[in-house]
């Protein structure tokens, strides 16, 4: 089990939000792969907390889905191809 408190999650989200304010012109695409229930729930909470950054975020249970989403979003946003691993 993960030992992460809501307060710690809020602190991490706060750092992300603060960083986003220093680099507002940089667009971010963030995918989180969280197969198990507890990490998935924490990732979803983080996702809600950082919404105000304007970053595109998504949480996936399957790694292949996360990779496919990142590849599609980077192609659409930046016109770049992310190499297949």
Q: Where are the domains of the chain?
A: 6-78
Neighbours of 47 (CB within 10 A): 16
pLDDT (tens digit per residue) in 14-67: 999 998 888 877 778 999 999 999 999 999 999 999 999 989 999 999 999 999
Position with higher pLDDT, 24 vs 74: 74
Pull the structure tokens for residue 10: 């809020």
Q: What is the pLDDT of residue 32?
A: 95
Strand partners, 56: 29
| Reported pTM | 0.83
Cα distances (angstroms) measured from residue 27 to each of 19, 31, 32, 45, 74: 12, 13, 17, 21, 10
């Amino acid at each position: 089990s993960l030992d992460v408190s809501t307060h710690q999650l809020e602190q991490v989200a706060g750092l992300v939000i603060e960083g986003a304010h220093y680099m507002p012109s940089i667009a971010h695409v963030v995918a989180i792969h969280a197969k198990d229930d507890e990490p998935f729930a924490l990732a979803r909470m983080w996702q809600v907390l950082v919404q105000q950054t304007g970053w595109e975020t998504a949480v996936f249970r399957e790694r292949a889905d996360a990779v496919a989403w990142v590849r599609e979003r980077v192609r659409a946003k930046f016109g770049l191809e992310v190499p297949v691993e």
